[in-house]
Structure 1
Amino acid sequence: MLSFSQILFTALVIVVVWQASRFLGRKGANQNNRENVRAHWTERMKPRRKVQPEHPAAQDMEKCPHCGVYHAEGLAHRCQD
């Protein structure tokens, strides 16, 4: 039968190992994150060419003589009854 001190010692060992694995995992993740941030900023510092925003093409509209709805010129339109 396990005594109280053996159970307490086992729980303490489990907690210490768990905390150590979390610490080491976090350290490795931060190092990878630091490298990603450094690569991101060096990429951002490169000169970029300016991109002109594209404007949508305007279409002429025509008014339906029956229902008064405007639609794109040249497209078929059916009036709703």
Structure 2
Amino acid sequence: MFGFSLPKLLFTALAIAAVWYGFKWLGRVQARQKELARERARRMKDTGTPRGRAPEVEDMMECPTCGAFVAASGPRNCGKTDCPYPE
């Protein structure tokens, strides 16, 4: 009933090997992801932005009519009749 047979031993050995190599593969994948995250963090620290791009920042100014803040480089008409900006 509880005897050891060759198929049972082979199956047990294969199951143990599958679990063992599965954990090894998972460890390599996690190590690779951790290294990529470190590289990304190092790049962010060196350049201040991801992939070395400069941040796109615009100055804003308040519309004297409606009080909404609009981009100073090219303000647009807000739709009110007395808006000072062109459409």
Same fold per superposition (TM over 0.5): yes
Which runs of at least 4 in structure 1 moved beyond 3 Å after TM superposition?
72-75
Secondary structure of the residue aligned to 1:55 is: strand
Residue deviations 1:10-55 (CA, integer Å, cap 9, x gap): 10111011111101111111111111100101122xxx9xx67413
- Radius of gyration: which is bigger? 1
Task: Give TM-score scaled by structure 2 length.
Answer: 0.53
Q: State whether structure 2 residue 16 is matched by structure 1 residue 3.
A: no
Q: State whether structure 2 residue 23 is matched by structure 1 residue 19.
A: yes
* Unmatched runs of 5 consecutive residues or more in structure 1: 61-71, 76-81
* Unmatched runs of 5 consecutive residues or more in structure 2: 49-53, 67-79
Task: Give TM-score scaled by structure 1 length.
Answer: 0.56
Paired residues, number: 60
CA RMSD of aligned residues (A): 3.1
Amino acid at match of 1:37: A
Cα drift, residue 56 of structure 1 = 3.3
